[in-house]
Structure 1
Amino acid sequence: MFKTQRLTALGTMAIRLPNEITNPLTTAQLSLMNIRRKIAKNNGIIPLEQLQKNLSVIEERLSEVASGIKVLQEFSTKAGFLKVRKTWQEIIDEGLLFLSDEILRKKITIHRYKDKENQLPQVIVEPNEMSEVLINLIIIAVGPLRNFHSNLYIESDFRADDEMIVTRFRSLNNPYGPLFAQTIFRPDEDSEIVTPQQFMFNVAKEIIHNNYQGTIKSKLHKDGMEIILTMPTGGNSV
């Protein structure tokens, strides 16, 4: 159980590395190349104003990298794994809050049915573990939303007959959706390469199945994709 929990965290870290580390370093590298190009072009002379501007960009991006490393360090070493009772709405809120920068950057509109969420019974979960599962699934769901002003639908229902909560993550009306989903949900069996999204999806499925006796399934649509998370509320015992 502990192993799969840590694997989930590693999968999320793999997805976060480009935003936290790679992108700022790339910008800093481009600024440094710009300085070198101007020096070479002007026989070793570069206007002070331009130099200061480029150095400021490099300094800002390196500060971002330092902050990102600190965040990832805290993320990778967090403790926990004590199951508690929480509302499903709280767990979704935490996942969306964690990804708020990415959602704002892509200008994704989140459609939720909070009236339904308010009526859901509480669930017994390990908060860190379940937050990671939700974060991973949301990351995968927004993956094909390459166009700005796209839509992600999150809808949860309670199945009273077997006390299951069913949550659907739907990113539709997107031409990239089916192709993107195909690479995750139906990968080439002959390929030895496992993408971070495939890794995250498989580990999330394993955790939900092994630790909560639930399921994560996927559907391909003509204009998008859908991830369906089904898990028990946990009854009355923590």
Structure 2
Amino acid sequence: MRRLAFLTLRSRLFVLLLALVAVNCAGAVITIWTTSRTLELSESVVKRDVQALLAAEKLGSALVMQKGYVTYYYLTGDEQWLTRLREHQMAFHHWLGVAQERTRMEEGRQILYEIGEAYADFEAGRDQVIALYREGRKDEGAHRHWTVRDQFHNIYALTKRFKNLHEQQIQHNQGLFTRKAHRLTALAWAALPVALLVGVSLAVVLWSQILEPIRRLAFDQEKGIFTVPAEDARDEVKALSRRMHSLLEDVDRAHEELEESREHLIQSEKLAMVGKLAASVAHSIRNPLTSVKMRLFSLERSLNLAPTQREDFEVIAEEIGHIDTIVGNFLEFSRPPKLKMQPLSLSDVVDMTLQLLKHRLESYGVRVELDRKGRLPKTLLDPDQMKEVLVNLILNACEAMGEGGHIRIVEESGMMGDHGYVVLVRIKDSGPGIPDEIKDKIFEPFFSTKEEGSGLGLAIARRILQDHRGWIHVHSKPGQGTTFVVGLPCEERGLWLRS
């Protein structure tokens, strides 16, 4: 271990793991090689020596079975004994061929050659004996028969010699296998302490430089208490995971609060600027604008105008009304009215809004679908201010869709995480959607994609909801429409619905 002290932790782990893998791989290679050699030896013994030994046994048996049939024929004169003799003679030739195929030793081949030569002489002599017996020359046949018996014993001795040769070869292979098995066992015993040493070294490094530091990080040992649940007291990794997860949550929460504070600061700066600007605009523009509107109304009633002139008057009046609306938005944004809170169902505000916008929706050709499973529970709200929020959202949807289109309004109530019990109104249109690059800017003051917009509608809507301790979110994908979600806290319980 001291020799590895100059290495980094990663290098030490790599060296120890490499050594452990090398020992295991070496053991695996030796095992595979030995197994392969064992299989080769087994194949040699089974397919060559054992089968050759079996052929030698069958060869000797076929030879022995031929003994005595000529004598039986001499005593009885029955041709049946000669038929059996030919059967065993054919068996002898068959097993002689098998033995010649199976043997791989030169000495064995030589013995089989001698057996073949001797058996050919044996067959010729035996055929002469049978012929003499058939001719009735029994004395001469009997004399010749003793010569054939000597040839039989000589062939039988050769078969025994062939059998003993393969028995010795099998014993030799068995000894070879035993020696290889002993060598493999010795190598295994030699590799065992090496593997143990490397394993112990790896365990020491893991414990002293990884697990113990993890334990110190996971548990607050300085205070003498655990900073994780008791069930994790024995699992350092799980405890560390919990602590890291908690730290990441704290970082995310701090980041979110920082972003919110940054947004609030930016909004506060814009509000302060808008407040000063609105006050100046209100005093400088609204009074003269009111006088212009009154004079224009008087002229329109007193003059006999041609159709073209009347159309011009209407355009002038419309533009003056637009200017008045912008001025009103400035004033409303800079000096929000005091809320007049009362217990009321948000469903009632939705009904009032749809009734107010009935003719406007018809002029746009927009179809409205109201998805209501039951009226929303009552909550504290300012109906006029909430109606202004819904009017703004619905008119924005109409302008985004142009002529025609479909608006779906969904009412829901239920538990929502940290917000507790809430009531929601989702307003979904079938318009082109909001591009991703401007989605985060639509609630900022003075940001507008419309040529004649003031950019204050959605900013006022969000401020109204914040005054109600509520919120507004937008979900939109280009080409798939836009959904605005308006939420308010509620103390009453109702049915939670998801669409």
TM-score when normalising by structure 1: 0.59
Contact 1:141/1:227 (<8 A) preserved: no
Q: CA deviation at 1:231?
A: 1.0
Amino acid of the residue matched to residue 407 of structure 2? L
RMSD: 4.2
- Indicate whether 1:57 and 2:314 are aligned: no
The correspondence of residues 113-152 of structure 1 with structure 2, limited to 5 A, is 113-114=371-372, 116=373, 118-146=374-402, 148-152=403-407
d(CA) in 2 for partners of 1:199 and 1:168?
21
Q: Aligned with 2:306: secondary structure? A: helix
- Indicate whether 1:229 and 2:489 are aligned: no
Contact 1:80/1:128 (<8 A) preserved: no
> Structure 1 residues 217 and 61 mapped into 2: Cα distance closer, same or farther (>3 Å)?
same
Partner residue in 1 for 2:147: none
Partner residue in 2 for 1:13: none
d(CA) in 1 for partners of 2:454 and 2:350?
19
Whichever of the two has the greater Rg, that structure is 2
- Indicate whether 1:171 and 2:424 are aligned: no
Output one character per residue of 1:29-83: Cα deviation in whole Å (capped at 9) or x when no partner.
Answer: xxxxxxxxxxxxxxxxxxxxxx822134345556667888999999979976321
Corresponding pairs, count: 182
Partner residue in 2 for 1:102: 360
What is the percentage of aligned positions where both structures have the same residue?
A: 16
Q: CA deviation at 1:203?
A: 3.2
> Structure 1 residues 63 and 178 mapped into 2: Cα distance closer, same or farther (>3 Å)?
closer
| Aligned match for 1:91, one of 334, 339, 349 | 349
Q: Aligned with 1:149: secondary structure? A: coil
d(CA) in 2 for partners of 1:144 and 1:69?
22
Q: CA deviation at 1:234?
A: 5.3
Q: Which runs of 5+ in 2 are unaligned?
A: 1-270, 279-304, 494-499
Amino acid of the residue matched to residue 421 of structure 2? E
Contact 1:178/1:220 (<8 A) preserved: yes
The correspondence of residues 68-79 of structure 1 with structure 2, limited to 5 A, is none
TM-score when normalising by structure 2: 0.31
Output one character per residue of 1:83-119: Cα deviation in whole Å (capped at 9) or x when no partner.
Answer: 11222222112323443343222111111124x2x43
d(CA) in 1 for partners of 2:471 and 2:352?
21
| Aligned match for 1:202, one of 448, 459, 467 | 459
Q: Aligned with 1:178: secondary structure? A: coil
Q: Which runs of 5+ in 1 are unaligned?
A: 11-50
d(CA) in 2 for partners of 1:205 and 1:192?
10
More RCO (CA 8 Å, sep 6+): 1
Contact 1:178/1:223 (<8 A) preserved: no
- Structure with the higher helix share, 1 or 2: 2
